[in-house]
Amino acid sequence: GFSLEDFKQAALINQTNVSLCQATAMCHHRIKEFEEAVNFFTWVLKINPCFLDAYIGRGNSYMEYGHDEATKQAQKDFLKALHLNPSCIKARISLGYNLQAQGKFQKAWNHFTIAIEVDPRSYLAYEGRAVVCLQMGNNFGAMQDINAAMKINTTAEFLTNRGVIHEFMGQQQNAMKDYQAAISLNPEYSLAYFNAGNIYFHHRQFSQAGDYFSKALKFDPENEYILMNRAIANTILKKYEEAKEDFAYVIESCPFWAAAYFNRAYFYCCLKQYELAEEDLNKALSLKPNDALVHSFRAKVRGKIGLIEEAMTDYNQALDFEGYASVI
């Protein structure tokens, strides 16, 4: 905080110092103040319209906004940087991820490939291309690229990514080996614990799954996906108090996430609190109206509390939605 304030003061005093403005912008980005970061990167570019890193920094800040307009704006910044220097690997990789976020996988693949041609030791370019290959359904290409990245630089992130590719290829044992290797390499890498926990969960080893989700949360305490999975594992393990706390946190953080209400309804059913379960299922359906699974579940819950007519309506709607889905 202090260094940021110092940079800001210095930048305001000396408004033409590019380095100070750039440092301030990067501090804002690092502490997730992305709009402030964009403002300072823009300031840098007013002083020096050819400042390559400012275009890349501003583009990466726009990417964090999470909406289409900002993603398009980011693309313009990355293209501008490449126009100034076509061999800039950092800009090329950022553009690749930008195109991937827009669902333009082939274009993204092309840019990651150009980055690899410019610098054959760019492990970040191999990683980016591996991710895109996976999204295009080319598991073998993804595996080749992540292995190439790991020959240059073995990190917990790359091991975890390779684990995910193994899972896509149906090789869960190999995936688990990679997640464990990632944890050995970096015992604070949350995603490796989470992914390993999910494998335990799918194998119905709920106690181990819960332990791994707890370890993941130690290093990423506000991650709603991990909290939700731990809440489900704890529900199955009959650790109802812990599950209740996790669900409460998830729903407070993500009040518009239908899956959170659906899963908490299952938790309430385990406690035979059917009225509360129905409330959560009503909320889930208000957020995601045409979900056959939720209608079917609410029909069972309504049956338990004697709302027979409403239960029948739900069953019929569930069948209608399932029929509609199979026609599509």
From first to last of the 328 residues of the chain, give the pLDDT tens digit: 445 454 444 444 445 567 777 787 788 777 777 778 888 888 888 888 888 899 999 999 999 988 899 999 999 999 999 999 999 999 999 999 999 999 999 999 999 999 999 999 999 999 999 999 999 999 999 999 999 999 999 999 999 999 999 999 999 999 999 999 999 999 999 999 999 999 999 999 999 999 999 999 999 998 999 999 999 999 999 999 999 999 999 999 999 999 999 999 999 999 999 999 999 999 999 998 888 888 888 888 888 888 888 878 877 877 876 654 443 3
Question: Which whole-number Å values give the CA distances from 28 to 2, 33, 68, 78, 190, in the listed order?
Answer: 12, 5, 22, 19, 24
Q: Are 91 and 78 in contact (CB under 8 A)?
A: yes
Calpha distance 62→174 (Å, rounded): 37
User: Are 310 and 290 a contacting pair, CB within 8 Å?
Assistant: no
**Residue 161 covered by a domain:** no
Nearest by Cα to 168 from 186, 190, 146, 193: 146
Whether the pTM exceeds 0.85: the reply is no
CA Rg value for the chain:
24
The reply to whether 262 falls in a domain is yes
User: Can you give the length of the chain in residues?
Assistant: 328
The pLDDT value given to residue 149: 97
Q: Has residue 299 been placed in a domain?
A: yes
**Per-residue pLDDT at 13:** 42
Which H or E run contains 28?
helix 18-30
Residue 114 located in a structural domain: no
Domain membership of residue 277 (yes or no) is: yes
109 CB contacts (<8 Å, ≥6 apart)? 96, 129, 132, 133, 136
- pLDDT, position 309: 82
Is residue 116 in a domain? no
Q: Which domain CATH number covers 273?
A: 1.25.40.10
Q: Would you give the distance in Å from CA 244 to the centre of its chain?
A: 24
The answer as to whether 146 is a domain residue is: no
323: containing domain: 255-327
Burial of 267 (0-12, 13-18, 19+ CB in 10 A): buried
Q: Please check whether residue 294 lies inside any domain of the structure.
A: yes
Total domain count, the chain? 1
Q: What type of residue is 65? A: Y
